[in-house]
């Protein structure tokens, strides 16, 4: 493992040790090293207090100083250095009321969420520290909470979402007691701010295994807390939208559109989850147009109107959504083929150089008024619209 650790990370650990402190790699990076995968980010745990970490290294950021985390900048690399800690009581199901710095690495590892994430690596001794059997679980493909899963999910409900994320990401099975606790405590997710839920949800949506992860979110009850309208006003069966999401490329707005395609007012739903305004509108826009193209007549004038409202550049996304929904069984074979035909017509139309709105016509309102020698009025707009279509 030693050889897989980048030099700047080793340098940070060396420097802490030379200053009389212990320092280890911890969490996801150790898990990934053991899987033979290059870690995305590197976390170091140390006995040094945050103030000392800030003193030892010239360039730092106080990223999560209240919880003991300082980001150390080393060239282009950023390493999160966190002081070993024990967590105080969790009062609100989100985070500890206070943290206590100090203790040993074993204690620090036991406060972590899952056994596979609760390992440390000491590169100076080339030693793995694994007090909860994380390596064995990793090799057996098992996701298991550290300690009593009911206690751990009550402390921080986000761990339930993380469980489903890791299972999908790493192709694991959830250990039965951990799964039972998750299902019975799922309502705890309601206590979390959507700012914390969203990043984990996004990671789940971008996985290759999104369809089965969504099925687990459904089975556990978590999905109903995140997207209640999926259960009250969905015009497609859940199995269909899960499959559709899985058939779409791993692009967030497309995967969300696949999942939420049977709902109305998707933009408000997403804004409520703290997705950006433009992003939420974009997903809502796509779904609205899918609904229109699947129901409305396909005469040339309607198609032109449709294309100008959709926007030529959105046609590829709509095509992907239509194909995924057809393949997922959202329509009868005949319906699906008919909708795909409309899309092909739209594709041909999009290549033609026609005006996308009355404003792009070669004539404007004053031309018409001059030509007819009549007084201006709302009738001008009506004529322009007729000319355009
Ligand atoms: P990724 O590879 O996606 O970054 P990760 O395991 O590194 O996965 P992070 O969110 O970066 O996940 O967290 C780093 C480590 O911090 C985890 O491996 C885990 O040990 C611990 N951790 C993170 N969130 C929690 C939590 N909510 N409860 C307990 N421990 C947590
Ligand atoms: Mg990480």
DSSP track, 166-196: HHHHHT-EE-HHHHHHHHHTGGGGGGS-HHH
Ligand 1 site, CB within 6 A = 27-28, 40-41, 43, 112-113, 117-118, 156, 158-159
Nearest atom in ligand 1 to 29's CA: 7
Spacing, Cα 27 to ligand 1 middle (Å): 6
Structure tokens at 12: 């940070």
Structure tokens at 106: 């074993």
d(CA 13, CA 6): 11
Spacing, Cα 125 to ligand 2 middle (Å): 23
- Judge contact between 387 and 358, C-beta under 8 A: yes
Phi, psi (rounded to 5 degrees) for 81: -110, 120
Give the pLDDT of the chain (389 residues) as one tens digit per residue.
888 999 999 999 999 999 999 999 999 999 999 999 999 899 999 999 999 999 999 999 999 888 899 999 988 889 999 999 887 777 777 777 778 888 899 999 999 999 999 999 999 999 999 999 999 999 999 999 999 999 999 999 999 999 999 999 999 999 999 999 999 999 999 999 999 999 999 999 999 999 999 999 999 999 999 999 999 999 999 999 999 999 999 999 999 999 999 999 999 999 999 999 999 999 999 999 999 998 877 788 888 889 889 998 999 999 999 999 999 999 998 899 999 999 999 999 888 777 777 777 788 888 888 888 888 888 888 888 888 76
For residue 70, the 8-state DSSP code is E
Q: Which of 124, 108, 126, 104 is nearest to 16 (CA)?
A: 124
Tell me the pTM.
0.89
Spacing, Cα 195 to ligand 2 middle (Å): 17
Q: Residue 199, class by beta-carbon neighbours within 10 Å (0-12 exposed, 13-18 middle, 19+ buried)?
A: exposed
Spacing, Cα 163 to ligand 2 middle (Å): 14
Q: Which ligand is nearest to the CA of 31?
A: 1
Nearest atom in ligand 1 to 41's CA: 4
Q: Which of 264, 206, 202, 200 is nearest to 230 (CA)?
A: 264
Q: Which residue CA neighbors atom 6 of ligand 1 most closely?
A: 28
């Amino acid at each position: 493992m030693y050889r897989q650790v980048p030099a700047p990370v080793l340098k940070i650990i060396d420097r802490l040790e030379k200053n009389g402190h212990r320092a280890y790699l911890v969490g996801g990076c150790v898990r990934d090293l053991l899987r033979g995968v290059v870690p995305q980010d590197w976390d170091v745990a140390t006995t040094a207090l945050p103030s000392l970490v800030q003193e030892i290294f010239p360039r730092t950021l106080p990223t999560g100083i209240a919880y003991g985390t300082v980001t150390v900048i080393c060239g282009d690399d950023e390493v999160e250095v966190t002081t070993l800690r024990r967590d105080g009581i969790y009062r609100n199901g989100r985070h500890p009321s206070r943290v206590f710095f100090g203790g040993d690495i074993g204690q620090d590892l036991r406060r972590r969420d899952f056994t596979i994430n609760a390992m440390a690596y000491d590169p100076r001794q080339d030693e793995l520290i694994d007090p909860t059997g994380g390596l064995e679980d990793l090799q057996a493909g098992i996701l298991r909470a550290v300690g009593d899963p009911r206690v751990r999910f009550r402390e921080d409900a986000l761990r339930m979402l993380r469980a489903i994320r890791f299972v999908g990401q790493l192709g694991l099975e959830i250990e039965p007691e951990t799964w039972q606790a998750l299902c019975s405590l799922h309502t705890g997710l309601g206590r979390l701010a959507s700012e914390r839920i969203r990043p984990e949800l996004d990671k789940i949506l971008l996985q290759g295994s999104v369809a089965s992860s969504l099925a687990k979110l459904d089975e556990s009850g978590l999905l109903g807390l995140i997207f209640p309208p999926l259960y009250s006003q969905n015009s497609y069966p859940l199995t269909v939208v899960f499959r559709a999401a899985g058939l779409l490329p791993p692009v967030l707005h497309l995967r969300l559109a696949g999942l939420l395609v049977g709902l109305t007012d998707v933009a408000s739903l997403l804004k409520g989850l703290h997705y950006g305004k433009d992003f939420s509108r974009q997903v809502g826009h796509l779904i609205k147009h899918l609904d229109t193209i699947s129901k409305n007549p396909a005469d040339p004038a309607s198609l032109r109107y449709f294309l100008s409202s959709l926007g030529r550049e959105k046609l590829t996304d709509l095509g992907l959504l239509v194909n995924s929904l057809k393949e997922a069984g959202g329509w009868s074979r005949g319906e699906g083929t008919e909708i795909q035909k409309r899309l092909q017509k739209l594709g041909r139309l999009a290549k033609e150089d026609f005006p996308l709105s009355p404003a792009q016509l070669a004539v404007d309102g004053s031309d018409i008024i001059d030509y007819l020698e009549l007084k201006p009025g709302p009738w001008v707009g009506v004529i322009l619209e007729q000319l355009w279509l």
